[in-house]
Structure 1
Amino acid sequence: MLSILKKSINFQYQAQYSVTHEPTFEEKEIWLVLHGYGQLAEFFIRKFQGFDSSERLFVAPEATNYGYLSGFAGRVGANWMTRHEREIAIQNNHNYLDLLMENLLSQFKERPTINVLGFSQGAATATRWASRWAGQVEQLVLWAGGFAEDLILEDARKKFSKTRLTLVFGDQDEFITSESIEKQEGLIKSLGKEVKKLSFAGGHEIDIEMLSKILDSSN
């Protein structure tokens, strides 16, 4: 009987990202914002457009896994990973975000402050990446999501020692369960780091009023 051997190959891949304005590379603050499951960066970033300024740039990378949101046609969304070849997808995400930030920051004479916001599935991706990125994240906001359950805690404790951590949830978010809250509480305890918790009246969404408060506090 013939054996089946599974192999892999590395190749150059093109990925998309959206920005709130053409970078001048004189901005003082960058917000890397990671969308949720089934979203596209060009639409997700519109939530942040009203807070754009000459000193603040929002950058929304688009996940590289695509699929139809319903059936075999119609609207398409992106996701950061599925259960299939999960570890490969995680490493690809790290490589992608590393290269994106390296490309951007290499064009600045003075390094800007880096903040990261992850929404829903993008929150777990944000925690994995930020906990191992070579640079320093000033503030990490996890919105309608939380710390990845497979986060390497030893790395995260060291990396987030100088990072402000914030969790944001809508009080009517149908995806937030008592079980998920309990798991997050356990992870936070293991991190041994103060995490600010904020809530707003709403569901699984970016609340503009709450976003305004968070962005104002970053100044």
Structure 2
Amino acid sequence: MKKTIIFQYQAQYSVSHEPTFEEKEIWLLLHGYGQLAEFFIRKFQGFDSSDRLFIAPEATNYGYLTGFSGRVGANWMTKHERETAIQNNHNYLDLLMEDLLSQYKNIPKINLLGFSQGAATATRWASRWTGEVDQLVLWAGGFAQDMALEDAREKFSQTKLSLVLGDQDEFVTPESIEIQQDLIKNLGKDVKKLTFRGGHEIDSEMLSIILDSSD
């Protein structure tokens, strides 16, 4: 007989600088499968400023990337106990943002970027978060197929949505593109589609364009 227990859990996250709580915009960054937050955030460090804070939560599921030793990566979920992992992700991100935003006198603009597996996690969380996301960027990934569309339509009604793909991304298939096109159609909202020359990666030139457009 399987049972569950709820307990306190310690999770890690990385920030681009020590928050002053006077920043005008926050970028919440959700990394991809097998990555770690402290390395993922380095892709964004060059765009850090006194008005812009990047914060990268680290997923709480860990595993060796190859075999039984060596490099370790984190992931947001696997097929095992998937629904529990999704709910844990929601609780984790809710608490992180609640703690962070409670220290601001003036709430900054909230931007959310999900990379690869982090894109689906971002859409699931943001579509039911009580706060407002000003901009949602799905990079090398897309909307979760199990995202509650009714909730998403309402939550994203005022959110700027973008899909970013590399033209040589080995994980992008015609099938995955078709699935995303159907989801976007059912969402009933314009989604900006951006393409750069490259693979399954964060491209600094494209990132610069996106960040400039958020100012």
Counterpart position of 2:9? 13
CA apart distance, 1:68: 0.1
1:7-31: CA deviations, max 9, x gaps? 0000000000000000000000000
Counterpart position of 2:127? 131
CA distance in 1, matches of 2:11, 2:63: 15
CA apart distance, 1:211: 0.2
Counterpart position of 1:182? 178
Counterpart position of 1:157? 153
CA distance in 2, matches of 1:11, 1:135: 25
CA distance in 2, matches of 1:112, 1:218: 12
1:60-209 to 2 correspondences below 5 Å: 60-209=56-205
Structure 1 residue runs of 4+, over 6 Å off?
Answer: none
The aligned amino acid for 1:111 is I
Aligned length: 215
SS of structure 1 residue aligned to 2:121: helix
Q: Percent identity?
A: 81
SS of structure 2 residue aligned to 1:24: coil
The aligned amino acid for 2:141 is G
1:109-142: CA deviations, max 9, x gaps? 0000000000000000000000000000000000
Counterpart position of 2:28? 32
CA apart distance, 1:48: 0.3
The aligned amino acid for 2:162 is T
CA apart distance, 1:177: 0.1
The aligned amino acid for 1:200 is F
Coordinate RMSD, CA, aligned:
0.2
1:152-210: CA deviations, max 9, x gaps? 00000000000000000000000000000000000000000000000000000000000
The aligned amino acid for 1:193 is K
Counterpart position of 2:212? 216
CA distance in 2, matches of 1:170, 1:10: 40
1:3-57: CA deviations, max 9, x gaps? xx10000000000000000000000000000000000000000000000000000
CA distance in 1, matches of 2:140, 2:79: 20
Q: Normalising by structure 2, what TM-score?
A: 1.00
Greater C-alpha Rg? 1
Structure 2 runs not aligned, ≥5 long: none
CA distance in 2, matches of 1:169, 1:31: 19
CA apart distance, 1:83: 0.1
CA distance in 1, matches of 2:24, 2:194: 26
SS of structure 1 residue aligned to 2:77: coil
SS of structure 1 residue aligned to 2:8: coil
Q: Does residue 43 of the first structure (1) align with residue 39 of the second (2)?
A: yes
